[in-house]
Structure 1
Amino acid sequence: MEDMDERSYWSRNAKVLLEEGGLFGSLLLDSAPPEGLCLSPEGLQEFIRQNGIQFGIDPVVCQQIAISPGSYVKERVRIAKGKPPVNGKDAQIEIYIEVDGEHRPKILENGRVDYFDMGSVQTVVKGQLLARRIPPTDGQDGLGVNGHPLPAKKGKDYRLPQGRNTVIEEDGCVLKAEKDGHVVYIPKENKIHVLEEFVVQKDVDFSVGNIEFSGSVRVNGNVQPGFKIKAEGDIEVQGYVDAAMIEAGGNVTIRGGVQGRLKGFVKAGGNLKTPFIQNAVVDVGGNCLVGESIMHSNVSAGLKIVMEGRKAVIVGGIVRAGEEVVTRVLGSPMATPTEVEVGVHPHLRSELNAIHESLKELHKNVDKTQKAIALLENMAGMGGHLPPDKAALLQKLKMTHEHYKVEEEEFMLRRSEIEILLQEVKGARVNVFDTVYSGVKITISNYSYFVRDSISRAAFVIKDAEIRTVPL
């Protein structure tokens, strides 16, 4: 009779609840038992099993509830825990060439520092390892308290950065050079190219004309006003660039400096290295490494703008970087209007928006194709066969559908790559190792800071939803 009374109490006054997708089980008591009714841990455990919990019941908690049920009335008590799933690890891409462009400068025999001899020209031979892919893992499924499996998430997959004159081995995990040449990593495209090089032994002028080349270009002189060099690889200029147009898919090195005269333009998919930039527009996908000065220019870098010289200064114009700006002096004692923006990644954000729009259009086309396939297959089912023209159309629609699936996978992979890069700019900051003068406007993400009085040696960061200065 006591067992019946106990069972009646549990059934009338207790509820078993599944939480967090079945990983945990909880008990909720509506009221305490009447005086004289003895409860047992075994009776509670049996009631829990009858209400769907088969795994992970905690006998200690059950005993505590049975001894003193009144202490747990109207309180959710966790009485069972399942085995949580272990999600798989994401794929990893290991790159075996220099990609950041921040090499150590060469010290000359006379003690001077050559900021531009950084060993940045990288050559490879056929069969040389460029990158390796460590595949994602599947993970391990867990077990819910109700005995049902808790599926683990498989790790995300990422593709090798295969570009021109590179080959992926059959296992899909190794990228090698397919020929001898100059190797270039393009972060914006996530591709490694092995390219040949075009060399100009003198100035780029009327005797040479404009240059457009599929590999890399090296100029042993200057680039005169009005001329244009465009290369899919790197561009290296031993002299200066004067009111000229420079556009490279890879890195750009200009050893003599950039004098834009309000006409010059330099664009690099990778990094830029030069001693100074004056009255020019510069657009860099990676890092912008400058020796001494950026003056009255519009400079944009996807990653960092780093001023490397002892008297490095940014004054006038506007500079933008996805991650960080580093200089010794920012602005001037004359309060020259100067703007600095960090925490923005213009190239990647534009590409991400374009991918979102492309996916929308692609999904519309997929839906139309699927409906057309279903209509034709239904016609075939009703009549037994289709006319030759309809059968050919059905076959073409199926091929188009497969093409859309491949295209969608490419978009999704690239979107994942960009989202990871954008997550990495959360620590955006401006580091000034000497003086920030009045007249400077600093913007980090969506926050702005106007410098009213000069500040010495400080970093500007986002803290508590505003821009603050912290000592360096």
Structure 2
Amino acid sequence: MRAGIVIHPPLETGRSLQQEDLHALIAEQGIVFGIDNDAIEEAKIFIESGEKEFKHITIARGQQVGKSTDAFLRYDIEIGPIAGKMLEDGTIDFRERRIMVGIKAGQCIATKIPPIQGKPGINIYGQETPAFPGKDIKIQLHNDVKFLRENMQVIATKDGVLSIVNDNAIKVCSHQTLRGDVDYKTGNVESMNCVTINGNVQSGFKVTAIGDISISGEVMSAKISSQGNIVVKGGITGKDSHLEAAGDADINFIEQGTLKCGGLAVIRKQVYYSEIITGADIRCHQSSKIIGGKLIAEGDVTVGDVGSENSRPALIAAGVIAERITHFDSLKSKVVEQQDAIIQWLQLYHGSSNSKKVKGMEKELAEAKLQLLRVNMIPGTELYSRAGGDEPLPPGPPQNPGAIPIEKIKIDVKGTIFAFTKIQIGNCSMTLEKTVSNRTFKLHPNGKRIIVIPNKR
């Protein structure tokens, strides 16, 4: 909030400010904070000069509400580079991810830094507006780890290797190493530990672990499941390849497979007719190539090249819950089926559109269409929380206080993206009309459409 004095040229019948005490006039208005004495002096000089000009001078400014700091975990050991981390200059760190970090019993892993309240705002009348409180975090501890409240430290209770999932879940597990392939000699692998496989995972086999999984070879039509993070240094091939991680996933390339992770997905080379679904960002190397398939992230998406002249179009979606796309498509199919059912009933029975049966079917169709309009794709929102058509949202506080800031979500294309690629951000979608290069896709400030912006070189 700010206050200003607007000075008009003097009028014969008007009130002159030359005889007025500006400080007294300001006090009469109840303005007591942020007063700029230099600006008041400037106003006095201008008034006394008798200039026949209009002039506006800001004489008081309020203090903005300070930004609060969210709680976070400060890691007190060297956990190495996190592949896919966004650096300060906007580039992405693609160094090899370091996992299986050794931990000793009694060693401090991390310290919780509590939220810090921002400074209150003060308006020109001296009234305070408190800052929004910083968000606290819930630390999730698994296996051989404990939290000491007196000093806010996370401590290992046994020797082992560290697994960090989505920044706030910490595990210390034993380390299991397989020196060759997972095949008929080993059988399926089910482990309560972190697992390193110095070979391939052969077709039809499963690897399941409580901790992180690192595979130096390939995954060939196999299933990999981790309650931690997954790193695959070879390729992932085959329609039956299915990888799922509670945390991050770092892969080389994937062909006709499926990858789901609760955190960040890092793609180093290629995605070929595959499905990548993440609870955070998808970050592909700038030289990577996406051919067909689906990339759906609840956060941002960064890609290299997308599509080709002859491939089926890919779907690139950011700020979207993947399950809601599936639900939306299911509702669309339901609407089509209901429309067809009404037409078939009228044709088969030569019925009237005013009949009780048809009216009932039309009511069900209208309800399904309204549901379709109300589906909200944005993470942190309720499923049916959009206004349907001309229907206003209910009065009161916002329905989705936990929604992500969708206006900040973007799809960043470092290479070439071919025509007919489908782009989706939140509840808005578009089909690319022409092939373009080096572009960023984001929502228009009105939130109703996607805009395309050239990237700075």
- Distance change in 2, residues 1:36/1:199 (3 Å): closer
Out of 237, 243, 251, the residue aligned to residue 229 of structure 2 is 251
CA contact (8 A) 1:41 1:62 kept: no
> 2:41 aligns to what SS in structure 1?
helix
2:451 is the counterpart of 1:466: yes
For 1:283-432, what aligned pairs fall within 5 Å after superposition?
283-290=260-267, 292-301=269-278, 302-307=280-285, 312-321=288-297, 322-327=299-304, 330-332=306-308, 335-346=310-321, 352-353=380-381, 419=404, 426-432=409-415
- 1:272 corresponds to 2:249: yes
Q: Please report how far the alpha carbon of residue 184 of structure 1 lies from its aligned counterpart in structure 2 after TM superposition.
A: 1.8
Name the residue aligned to 2:432. Answer: 450
- Measured after TM superposition, the shift of residue 306 of structure 1 is 2.2
Matches within 5 A, 1:197-212: 197-205=175-183, 208-212=186-190
Distance 1:37 1:221 in 2: 90
Q: Distance in 2 between matches of 1:356 and 1:170?
A: 40
CA change 1:45–1:70 in 2 (3 A) is farther
- Per-residue CA deviations over 1:222-243 (Å, capped at 9, x if unaligned) read 4333333232321223443222
> Match for residue 159 of structure 1?
137
CA offsets per residue over residues 122-177 of structure 1, 9 Å max, x none? 2222343433444444455566544x442442651433644224334435544343
Q: Is the 8 A contact 1:306 1:325 kept in 2?
A: yes
Inter-CA distance 121–133: structure 2 relative to 1 (3 Å threshold): same
SS of match in other structure, 2:163 = strand
In 1, distance between residues paired with 2:48 and 2:189? 88
Deviation at 1:54, TM superposition (A): 4.8
The question of whether the paired residues in 2 share the 8 Å contact of 1:131 and 1:176 is answered with yes
Q: Does 1:441 align with 2:421?
A: yes
Question: Which has the higher Rg, Structure 1 or Structure 2?
Answer: 1
Q: Distance in 1 between matches of 2:208 and 2:12?
A: 85
How far did residue 215 of structure 1 move?
3.2
Q: How does 1:7-406 map to 2 (within 5 A)?
A: 20=1, 24=3, 34=13, 39-42=18-21, 45-54=23-32, 56=35, 58=37, 59-60=40-41, 63=44, 67=48, 80-81=59-60, 84=63, 87=66, 89-91=68-70, 93=72, 94-96=74-76, 97-98=79-80, 100-102=82-84, 118-141=97-120, 144-146=123-125, 148-153=126-131, 155-159=133-137, 161-164=139-142, 165-171=144-150, 173-187=152-166, 190-205=168-183, 208-260=186-238, 262-290=239-267, 292-301=269-278, 302-307=280-285, 312-321=288-297, 322-327=299-304, 330-332=306-308, 335-346=310-321, 352-353=380-381
Asked if the contact 2:82/2:98 (under 8 Å) is kept, the reply is no
- What is aligned with 2:395? none
CA separation of 1:36 and 1:450: change in aligned 2, threshold 3 A: closer
Does structure 1 retain, via aligned residues, the 8 Å contact 2:210–2:226?
yes
**Shift of the alpha carbon at 1:202?**
4.9
1:341 offset after TM fit, Å? 0.6
CA contact (8 A) 1:286 1:304 kept: no
2:6 and 2:159 map into 1 onto residues whose CA distance is 69
TM-score by length of 1: 0.61
Q: Is the 8 A contact 1:123 1:183 kept in 2?
A: yes
Match of 2:164, SS state, is strand
Where structure 1 has 5 or more consecutive residues not aligned to the other structure, the ranges are 1-19, 104-114, 358-411
Q: Under a length normalisation based on structure 2, what TM-score does the superposition of the two structures give?
A: 0.62
Once the two structures are TM-superposed, the CA of residue 441 in structure 1 deviates from its matched residue by 0.9
Cα distance, 1:419–1:123 mapped onto 2, change above 3 Å: farther
Mean CA deviation greater in 279-288 or 203-212: 203-212
Q: List alignment gaps of at least 5 residues for structure 2.
A: 86-93, 324-376, 386-399, 445-449
- 1: CA distance between counterparts of 2:313 and 2:418? 9
After superposition, what is the alpha-carbon deviation per residue over 1:33-68, rounded to whole angstroms, capped at 9, x for unaligned? 7389895133x5445434534563754266358648
CA distance in 1, matches of 2:286, 2:262: 19
What percent of counterpart residues are identical?
Answer: 20
Distance 1:137 1:276 in 2: 42
Shift of 1:339: 0.5
CA distance in 2, matches of 1:39, 1:330: 69
**SS of corresponding position for 1:87:** coil
